[in-house]
């Protein structure tokens, strides 16, 4: 079994480059810019977007009509316009012409009319609590522990002469 450090889940940016996402929490259907700076002029860079959950249809991910797009750098930066049409979490990844990852980030798309962060102004609230099943199981375990303690104390009292 391989254990990865917590930092592995964070965004990656290679040394000497910068990845800017104009809005990391856009509304469904709202376009935003992904700009990669630190490109080598004449080299091709590919932006690929994958969703979590994977059940989001690929037609809901649009970078000039596709879920992946390649552009050749004409300067030290490359810009892509992206539109995501389903509420989900998305990984935005830039790779170079050899397929090596040079930068990635995460974009969280919220419900229509609201934001993914649950700010005021309408829309759905953010999920901030625990799972009810986990809380219920924890409460049941504490109740069973308490009842067991009461039974043991009563047995001890009755066993004493």
What are 79-93's pLDDT values in tens digits?
888 888 888 888 888
28 occurs within a structural domain? yes
Q: Where residue 11 sits, what CATH number does that domain have?
A: 2.60.40.230
Query: Using CA atoms, how far apart are residues 160 and 154, in angstroms rounded to an integer?
Result: 10
What is the mean predicted confidence (pLDDT) over 113-123? 41
144 and 107, same domain (yes or no): no
Per the model's pLDDT, the better-predicted residue between 18 and 101 turns out to be 101
18 and 94, same domain (yes or no): yes
Which pLDDT value is given to residue 10?
56
Which pLDDT value is given to residue 135?
75
N-terminal to C-terminal alpha carbon distance within the chain: 56
134 and 108, same domain (yes or no): no
138 occurs within a structural domain? yes
95 and 155, same domain (yes or no): no
The secondary structure of residue 26, as a DSSP letter, is P
120 occurs within a structural domain? no
Please count the structural domains in the chain.
Answer: 2
56 and 15, same domain (yes or no): yes
b/e burial code for range 67-94 (CB count within 10 A of at least 16 → b): bebebebeeeebebebbbbbbbebebbb
138 and 105, same domain (yes or no): no
121 occurs within a structural domain? no
**Mean pLDDT taken over the chain:** 75
Domain range for residue 150? 130-161
12 and 65, same domain (yes or no): yes
Q: Answer yes or no: is pLDDT of 105 > 80.
A: yes
- What's the whole-model pTM score? 0.55
> Count of CB atoms within 10 A of residue 143's CB?
10
Determine whether 47 is exposed, middle or buried from the number of CB atoms within 10 Å of its CB (0-12, 13-18, 19+).
buried
64 and 139, same domain (yes or no): no
The answer to whether the beta carbons of residues 52 and 89 sit under 8 Å apart is: yes
C-alpha distances in Å from residue 10, one per residue of 46, 71, 122, 154, 159: 20, 25, 29, 53, 59
157 occurs within a structural domain? yes
């Amino acid at each position: 079994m391989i254990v990865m450090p917590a930092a592995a889940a964070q965004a990656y940016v290679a040394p000497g480059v910068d990845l800017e996402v104009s809005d990391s929490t856009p509304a469904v259907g709202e376009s935003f810019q992904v700009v990669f700076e630190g490109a080598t002029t004449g080299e091709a860079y590919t932006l690929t977007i994958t969703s979590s959950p994977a059940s989001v249809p690929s037609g809901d991910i649009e970078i000039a009509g596709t879920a992946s797009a390649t552009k050749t750098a004409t300067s030290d930066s490359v810009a892509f316009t992206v539109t995501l049409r389903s509420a989900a979490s998305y990984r935005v990844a830039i790779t170079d012409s050899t397929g090596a990852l040079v930068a990635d980030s995460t974009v969280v798309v919220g419900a229509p009319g609201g934001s993914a962060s649950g700010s005021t102004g309408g829309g759905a609230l953010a999920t901030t609590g625990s799972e009810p099943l986990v809380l219920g199981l924890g409460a049941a375990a504490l109740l069973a522990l308490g009842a067991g303690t009461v039974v043991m104390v009563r047995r001890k009292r009755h066993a004493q002469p």
